[in-house]
Chains A and B, each alone.
Chain A
Protein backbone atom coordinates (compact mmCIF):
# COMPACT_ATOMS: atom_id res chain seq x y z
CA UNK A 1 0.00 0.00 0.00
CA UNK A 2 2.81 2.38 0.81
CA UNK A 3 3.97 2.11 -2.78
CA UNK A 4 0.85 3.93 -3.85
CA UNK A 5 1.65 6.77 -1.51
CA UNK A 6 4.98 7.21 -3.20
CA UNK A 7 3.44 7.11 -6.66
CA UNK A 8 0.90 9.85 -5.97
CA UNK A 9 3.36 12.74 -5.62
CA UNK A 10 5.27 11.46 -8.66
CA UNK A 11 2.13 11.39 -10.73
CA UNK A 12 1.22 14.85 -9.47
CA UNK A 13 4.65 16.13 -10.42
CA UNK A 14 4.20 14.67 -13.88
CA UNK A 15 0.83 16.38 -14.08
CA UNK A 16 2.28 19.74 -13.19
CA UNK A 17 5.10 19.45 -15.70
CA UNK A 18 2.58 18.72 -18.45
CA UNK A 19 0.39 21.55 -17.25
CA UNK A 20 3.41 23.88 -17.34
CA UNK A 21 4.29 22.98 -20.91
CA UNK A 22 0.67 23.44 -21.77
CA UNK A 23 0.64 26.95 -20.34
CA UNK A 24 3.82 27.99 -22.16
CA UNK A 25 2.57 26.61 -25.47
CA UNK A 26 -0.83 28.18 -24.94
CA UNK A 27 0.70 31.57 -24.17
CA UNK A 28 2.75 31.41 -27.37
CA UNK A 29 -0.27 30.23 -29.29
CA UNK A 30 -2.29 33.15 -27.92
CA UNK A 31 0.37 35.58 -29.16
CA UNK A 32 0.34 33.96 -32.61
CA UNK A 33 -3.44 33.91 -32.74
CA UNK A 34 -3.62 37.56 -31.71
CA UNK A 35 -1.08 38.47 -34.42
CA UNK A 36 -3.00 36.51 -37.07
CA UNK A 37 -6.18 38.29 -35.99
CA UNK A 38 -4.56 41.74 -36.27
CA UNK A 39 -3.24 40.87 -39.75
CA UNK A 40 -6.70 39.72 -40.82
CA UNK A 41 -8.28 42.91 -39.43
CA UNK A 42 -5.66 45.02 -41.21
CA UNK A 43 -6.54 43.36 -44.52
CA UNK A 44 -10.24 43.98 -43.91
CA UNK A 45 -9.40 47.63 -43.16
CA UNK A 46 -7.52 47.94 -46.46
CA UNK A 47 -10.42 46.36 -48.35
CA UNK A 48 -12.77 48.93 -46.78
CA UNK A 49 -10.35 51.78 -47.50
CA UNK A 50 -10.21 50.88 -51.23
CA UNK A 51 -14.00 50.66 -51.32
CA UNK A 52 -14.28 54.18 -49.83
CA UNK A 53 -11.68 55.48 -52.27
CA UNK A 54 -13.48 53.95 -55.25
CA UNK A 55 -16.72 55.60 -54.15
CA UNK A 56 -14.94 58.91 -53.66
CA UNK A 57 -16.24 58.85 -50.09
CA UNK A 58 -13.46 60.93 -48.57
CA UNK A 59 -15.34 61.58 -45.32
CA UNK A 60 -15.33 57.84 -44.57
CA UNK A 61 -11.80 57.53 -45.97
CA UNK A 62 -10.63 60.18 -43.50
CA UNK A 63 -12.08 58.21 -40.57
CA UNK A 64 -9.80 55.22 -41.20
CA UNK A 65 -6.64 57.38 -41.43
CA UNK A 66 -4.75 58.80 -38.46
CA UNK A 67 -4.34 62.59 -38.07
CA UNK A 68 -0.61 62.24 -38.70
CA UNK A 69 -1.12 60.16 -41.90
CA UNK A 70 1.44 60.68 -44.69
CA UNK A 71 1.28 59.50 -48.32
CA UNK A 72 4.49 58.99 -50.31
CA UNK A 73 4.50 58.46 -54.08
CA UNK A 74 6.94 57.52 -55.54
CA UNK A 75 7.81 55.49 -52.46
CA UNK A 76 11.23 57.15 -52.00
CA UNK A 77 9.80 60.70 -51.92
CA UNK A 78 11.36 62.70 -49.10
CA UNK A 79 8.24 64.78 -48.62
CA UNK A 80 4.82 63.19 -48.48
CA UNK A 81 1.26 64.46 -48.58
CA UNK A 82 -0.72 65.02 -45.38
CA UNK A 83 -4.16 63.46 -44.92
CA UNK A 84 -5.89 66.64 -46.14
CA UNK A 85 -3.52 66.99 -49.09
CA UNK A 86 -4.14 63.37 -50.05
CA UNK A 87 -7.91 63.99 -50.00
CA UNK A 88 -7.42 67.06 -52.26
CA UNK A 89 -5.29 64.95 -54.61
CA UNK A 90 -8.01 62.25 -54.63
CA UNK A 91 -10.77 64.75 -55.40
CA UNK A 92 -8.72 66.24 -58.25
CA UNK A 93 -8.00 62.74 -59.56
CA UNK A 94 -11.71 61.88 -59.72
CA UNK A 95 -12.35 65.13 -61.64
CA UNK A 96 -9.81 63.91 -64.22
CA UNK A 97 -11.03 60.29 -64.19
CA UNK A 98 -14.65 60.29 -62.92
CA UNK A 99 -15.14 56.56 -63.57
CA UNK A 100 -11.81 55.48 -62.05
CA UNK A 101 -11.89 52.14 -60.26
CA UNK A 102 -9.02 50.53 -58.43
CA UNK A 103 -9.27 46.78 -58.11
CA UNK A 104 -7.29 44.84 -55.55
CA UNK A 105 -5.27 42.10 -57.24
CA UNK A 106 -3.35 40.97 -54.19
CA UNK A 107 -3.46 41.81 -50.51
CA UNK A 108 -0.84 40.50 -48.11
CA UNK A 109 -0.33 41.27 -44.44
CA UNK A 110 2.66 40.87 -42.15
CA UNK A 111 2.86 42.49 -38.72
CA UNK A 112 1.63 46.09 -38.87
CA UNK A 113 1.91 46.27 -42.68
CA UNK A 114 -0.35 45.43 -45.59
CA UNK A 115 0.73 45.44 -49.24
CA UNK A 116 -1.79 45.98 -52.05
CA UNK A 117 -1.11 45.23 -55.69
CA UNK A 118 -3.78 47.09 -57.63
CA UNK A 119 -5.00 47.79 -61.14
CA UNK A 120 -6.57 51.14 -61.95
CA UNK A 121 -8.94 51.61 -64.86
CA UNK A 122 -10.56 54.87 -65.86
CA UNK A 123 -11.36 57.36 -68.61
CA UNK A 124 -9.48 60.64 -68.96
CA UNK A 125 -12.36 63.13 -68.95
CA UNK A 126 -10.77 66.13 -67.25
CA UNK A 127 -7.41 67.90 -67.13
CA UNK A 128 -4.68 65.80 -65.49
CA UNK A 129 -1.09 66.96 -64.82
CA UNK A 130 -1.55 69.75 -67.34
CA UNK A 131 -2.96 67.43 -70.03
CA UNK A 132 -6.43 68.31 -71.29
CA UNK A 133 -9.05 65.56 -71.42
CA UNK A 134 -8.25 63.05 -74.14
CA UNK A 135 -11.14 60.64 -73.57
CA UNK A 136 -8.50 57.90 -73.49
CA UNK A 137 -9.12 54.81 -71.44
CA UNK A 138 -6.20 54.17 -69.12
CA UNK A 139 -5.06 51.10 -67.25
CA UNK A 140 -2.28 51.24 -64.72
CA UNK A 141 -0.95 49.06 -61.99
CA UNK A 142 0.84 49.76 -58.78
CA UNK A 143 1.95 48.42 -55.44
CA UNK A 144 1.38 50.18 -52.13
CA UNK A 145 2.76 49.37 -48.71
CA UNK A 146 0.55 50.55 -45.83
CA UNK A 147 1.42 50.83 -42.14
CA UNK A 148 -1.35 50.56 -39.58
CA UNK A 149 -1.28 51.64 -35.94
CA UNK A 150 -4.13 51.10 -33.48
CA UNK A 151 -6.57 50.26 -36.27
CA UNK A 152 -5.80 53.37 -38.33
CA UNK A 153 -3.68 53.87 -41.43
CA UNK A 154 -0.65 56.02 -40.60
CA UNK A 155 1.46 55.74 -43.76
CA UNK A 156 1.22 54.70 -47.41
CA UNK A 157 4.17 54.34 -49.77
CA UNK A 158 3.09 53.78 -53.35
CA UNK A 159 4.69 53.13 -56.72
CA UNK A 160 2.92 52.79 -60.05
CA UNK A 161 3.76 52.88 -63.74
CA UNK A 162 4.37 56.64 -63.85
CA UNK A 163 5.64 56.60 -67.44
CA UNK A 164 2.93 54.28 -68.79
CA UNK A 165 0.25 56.53 -67.28
CA UNK A 166 1.48 59.57 -69.21
CA UNK A 167 2.08 57.59 -72.42
CA UNK A 168 -1.55 56.47 -72.32
CA UNK A 169 -2.50 60.17 -72.19
CA UNK A 170 -0.64 60.87 -75.44
CA UNK A 171 2.69 61.94 -73.98
CA UNK A 172 6.15 60.72 -74.94
CA UNK A 173 9.73 61.24 -73.80
CA UNK A 174 11.92 63.81 -75.57
CA UNK A 175 15.32 65.22 -74.64
CA UNK A 176 14.95 68.45 -72.66
CA UNK A 177 15.56 71.31 -75.04
CA UNK A 178 18.36 73.63 -74.03
CA UNK A 179 16.98 76.91 -72.73
CA UNK A 180 17.97 79.97 -74.73
Chain B
Protein backbone atom coordinates (compact mmCIF):
# COMPACT_ATOMS: atom_id res chain seq x y z
CA UNK B 1 0.00 0.00 0.00
CA UNK B 2 2.83 2.36 0.72
CA UNK B 3 3.71 2.22 -2.98
CA UNK B 4 0.78 4.48 -3.72
CA UNK B 5 2.24 7.24 -1.62
CA UNK B 6 5.05 7.54 -4.13
CA UNK B 7 2.78 7.30 -7.12
CA UNK B 8 0.39 10.06 -6.11
CA UNK B 9 2.90 12.93 -6.04
CA UNK B 10 4.45 11.65 -9.27
CA UNK B 11 1.10 11.64 -10.97
CA UNK B 12 0.42 15.12 -9.64
CA UNK B 13 3.72 16.42 -11.00
CA UNK B 14 2.85 14.82 -14.33
CA UNK B 15 -0.52 16.58 -14.22
CA UNK B 16 1.02 19.97 -13.57
CA UNK B 17 3.56 19.56 -16.36
CA UNK B 18 0.84 18.81 -18.85
CA UNK B 19 -1.33 21.62 -17.52
CA UNK B 20 1.63 24.01 -17.89
CA UNK B 21 2.28 23.01 -21.48
CA UNK B 22 -1.38 23.46 -22.11
CA UNK B 23 -1.23 27.01 -20.79
CA UNK B 24 1.64 28.00 -23.09
CA UNK B 25 -0.09 26.49 -26.12
CA UNK B 26 -3.38 28.10 -25.07
CA UNK B 27 -1.73 31.51 -24.69
CA UNK B 28 -0.24 31.26 -28.19
CA UNK B 29 -3.55 30.10 -29.55
CA UNK B 30 -5.29 33.03 -27.85
CA UNK B 31 -2.87 35.39 -29.59
CA UNK B 32 -3.78 33.94 -32.98
CA UNK B 33 -7.46 34.14 -32.13
CA UNK B 34 -7.14 37.77 -31.01
CA UNK B 35 -5.30 38.69 -34.22
CA UNK B 36 -7.86 36.87 -36.39
CA UNK B 37 -10.62 38.72 -34.53
CA UNK B 38 -9.00 42.13 -35.09
CA UNK B 39 -8.51 41.33 -38.79
CA UNK B 40 -12.16 40.29 -39.10
CA UNK B 41 -13.28 43.49 -37.34
CA UNK B 42 -11.03 45.60 -39.58
CA UNK B 43 -12.55 43.99 -42.67
CA UNK B 44 -16.02 44.79 -41.32
CA UNK B 45 -15.02 48.43 -40.70
CA UNK B 46 -13.72 48.70 -44.26
CA UNK B 47 -16.98 47.22 -45.61
CA UNK B 48 -18.95 49.77 -43.57
CA UNK B 49 -16.61 52.55 -44.75
CA UNK B 50 -17.40 51.90 -48.43
CA UNK B 51 -21.10 51.38 -47.67
CA UNK B 52 -21.14 54.81 -45.96
CA UNK B 53 -19.57 56.38 -49.09
CA UNK B 54 -22.25 54.75 -51.27
CA UNK B 55 -24.99 56.11 -49.00
CA UNK B 56 -23.29 59.51 -48.68
CA UNK B 57 -23.62 58.97 -44.93
CA UNK B 58 -20.96 61.45 -43.84
CA UNK B 59 -21.83 61.09 -40.14
CA UNK B 60 -21.09 57.38 -40.33
CA UNK B 61 -17.95 58.05 -42.36
CA UNK B 62 -16.71 60.49 -39.71
CA UNK B 63 -17.42 57.89 -37.04
CA UNK B 64 -15.35 55.32 -38.94
CA UNK B 65 -12.39 57.67 -39.60
CA UNK B 66 -9.67 58.70 -37.17
CA UNK B 67 -9.03 62.38 -36.42
CA UNK B 68 -5.77 62.26 -38.38
CA UNK B 69 -7.36 60.49 -41.37
CA UNK B 70 -5.46 60.84 -44.64
CA UNK B 71 -6.14 59.78 -48.21
CA UNK B 72 -3.15 59.05 -50.41
CA UNK B 73 -3.29 58.44 -54.14
CA UNK B 74 -0.82 58.60 -57.02
CA UNK B 75 -0.65 62.11 -58.39
CA UNK B 76 -1.70 63.79 -55.15
CA UNK B 77 1.11 66.09 -54.06
CA UNK B 78 -0.31 66.23 -50.53
CA UNK B 79 -2.55 63.69 -48.80
CA UNK B 80 -6.15 64.74 -48.31
CA UNK B 81 -7.68 65.03 -44.86
CA UNK B 82 -11.22 64.00 -43.98
CA UNK B 83 -12.76 67.23 -45.37
CA UNK B 84 -10.95 66.64 -48.67
CA UNK B 85 -12.47 63.22 -49.17
CA UNK B 86 -15.97 64.51 -48.29
CA UNK B 87 -15.67 67.28 -50.91
CA UNK B 88 -14.46 64.76 -53.50
CA UNK B 89 -17.33 62.38 -52.72
CA UNK B 90 -19.90 65.21 -52.99
CA UNK B 91 -18.47 66.37 -56.33
CA UNK B 92 -18.36 62.83 -57.70
CA UNK B 93 -21.92 61.96 -56.64
CA UNK B 94 -23.24 65.19 -58.16
CA UNK B 95 -22.14 63.78 -61.55
CA UNK B 96 -22.67 60.07 -60.81
CA UNK B 97 -25.59 59.92 -58.31
CA UNK B 98 -25.79 56.09 -58.32
CA UNK B 99 -22.01 55.44 -57.93
CA UNK B 100 -21.36 52.16 -56.11
CA UNK B 101 -18.35 50.33 -54.71
CA UNK B 102 -18.54 46.54 -55.05
CA UNK B 103 -15.89 44.82 -52.95
CA UNK B 104 -14.55 41.72 -54.70
CA UNK B 105 -11.63 40.70 -52.51
CA UNK B 106 -10.12 41.56 -49.14
CA UNK B 107 -6.75 40.68 -47.68
CA UNK B 108 -6.02 41.58 -44.04
CA UNK B 109 -2.84 41.41 -42.04
CA UNK B 110 -2.35 43.21 -38.75
CA UNK B 111 -3.58 46.81 -39.09
CA UNK B 112 -3.88 46.74 -42.87
CA UNK B 113 -6.80 45.71 -45.05
CA UNK B 114 -6.26 45.48 -48.81
CA UNK B 115 -9.38 45.75 -50.95
CA UNK B 116 -9.97 45.03 -54.61
CA UNK B 117 -13.18 46.58 -55.84
CA UNK B 118 -15.12 47.61 -58.90
CA UNK B 119 -16.97 50.93 -58.98
CA UNK B 120 -19.73 51.83 -61.35
CA UNK B 121 -22.32 54.53 -61.88
CA UNK B 122 -24.23 56.59 -64.44
CA UNK B 123 -22.81 59.84 -65.78
CA UNK B 124 -25.87 62.05 -65.30
CA UNK B 125 -24.43 65.54 -64.83
CA UNK B 126 -21.33 67.39 -66.12
CA UNK B 127 -18.08 65.95 -64.80
CA UNK B 128 -14.96 68.09 -65.05
CA UNK B 129 -16.35 69.84 -68.10
CA UNK B 130 -17.55 66.65 -69.77
CA UNK B 131 -21.25 66.84 -70.58
CA UNK B 132 -23.42 64.01 -69.26
CA UNK B 133 -23.14 60.92 -71.43
CA UNK B 134 -25.81 58.92 -69.54
CA UNK B 135 -23.37 56.01 -69.76
CA UNK B 136 -22.90 53.53 -66.95
CA UNK B 137 -19.16 53.56 -66.46
CA UNK B 138 -17.01 51.06 -64.58
CA UNK B 139 -13.70 51.67 -62.83
CA UNK B 140 -11.65 49.07 -60.95
CA UNK B 141 -9.64 50.15 -57.89
CA UNK B 142 -7.33 48.64 -55.33
CA UNK B 143 -6.91 50.16 -51.90
CA UNK B 144 -4.97 49.68 -48.70
CA UNK B 145 -6.61 50.91 -45.52
CA UNK B 146 -4.78 51.22 -42.22
CA UNK B 147 -7.27 50.59 -39.41
CA UNK B 148 -6.27 51.47 -35.86
CA UNK B 149 -8.52 51.08 -32.83
CA UNK B 150 -11.54 50.54 -35.04
CA UNK B 151 -11.00 53.63 -37.18
CA UNK B 152 -9.60 54.17 -40.67
CA UNK B 153 -6.40 56.16 -40.34
CA UNK B 154 -4.90 55.90 -43.82
CA UNK B 155 -6.56 55.22 -47.14
CA UNK B 156 -4.38 54.43 -50.18
CA UNK B 157 -6.20 54.20 -53.46
CA UNK B 158 -5.13 53.36 -57.01
CA UNK B 159 -7.72 53.64 -59.78
CA UNK B 160 -7.84 53.12 -63.55
CA UNK B 161 -8.68 56.74 -64.42
CA UNK B 162 -7.52 56.34 -68.02
CA UNK B 163 -10.17 53.67 -68.65
CA UNK B 164 -12.71 55.80 -66.79
CA UNK B 165 -12.18 58.90 -68.98
CA UNK B 166 -12.10 56.78 -72.13
CA UNK B 167 -15.60 55.54 -71.27
CA UNK B 168 -16.65 59.21 -71.00
CA UNK B 169 -15.57 59.79 -74.59
CA UNK B 170 -12.06 61.12 -73.96
CA UNK B 171 -8.84 59.97 -75.58
CA UNK B 172 -5.13 60.53 -75.11
CA UNK B 173 -3.49 63.14 -77.30
CA UNK B 174 -0.03 64.68 -77.09
CA UNK B 175 -0.18 67.88 -75.05
CA UNK B 176 0.89 70.78 -77.25
CA UNK B 177 3.86 72.70 -75.98
CA UNK B 178 2.83 76.05 -74.51
CA UNK B 179 4.05 79.11 -76.37
Contact = CB atoms under 8 A, between A and B. Distances in A.
Interface of A: 1, 4-5, 7-8, 11-12, 14-15, 18-19, 21-22, 25-26, 28-29, 32, 36, 39, 74-76, 106, 108-111, 113-115, 117, 131, 140-145, 157-166, 170-176
Interface stretch (B2-10, B52-60, B78-86): B2-10
B174 A170 contact: yes
B140 A159 contact: yes
Given A163-B165, A176-B171, A140 B74 contact: yes
Contacts of B91: none
B175 A25 contact: no
A151 B137 CA distance: 37
B74 A161 contact: yes
A180 B29 CA distance: 70
A26 B74 contact: no
Interface string B61-86: 00000000000011100000000000
A162 B163 contact: yes
Contacts, number: 160
Nearest to B39: A110
B38 to A, nearest CB: 13
Interface in B153-179: 156, 158-163, 165, 169-175
Interface of B: 1, 4-5, 7-8, 11-12, 14-15, 18-19, 21-22, 25-26, 28-29, 32, 39, 73-75, 105, 107-110, 112, 114, 116, 118, 130, 138, 140-144, 156, 158-163, 165, 169-175
B114 to A, nearest CB: 4
Contacts of B112: 106, 108
A114 B105 CA distance: 12
Instruction: Rank and list the top 6 A-B pairs by shortest CB-CB distance, nearest first.
Output: A161-B74, A162-B162, A143-B142, A115-B114, A76-B140, A163-B161
A140 B165 CA distance: 18
B160 A18 contact: no
A171 B173 CA distance: 5
B28 A170 contact: no
A1 to B, nearest CB: 5
Contacts of A19: 18
Contacts of A26: 25
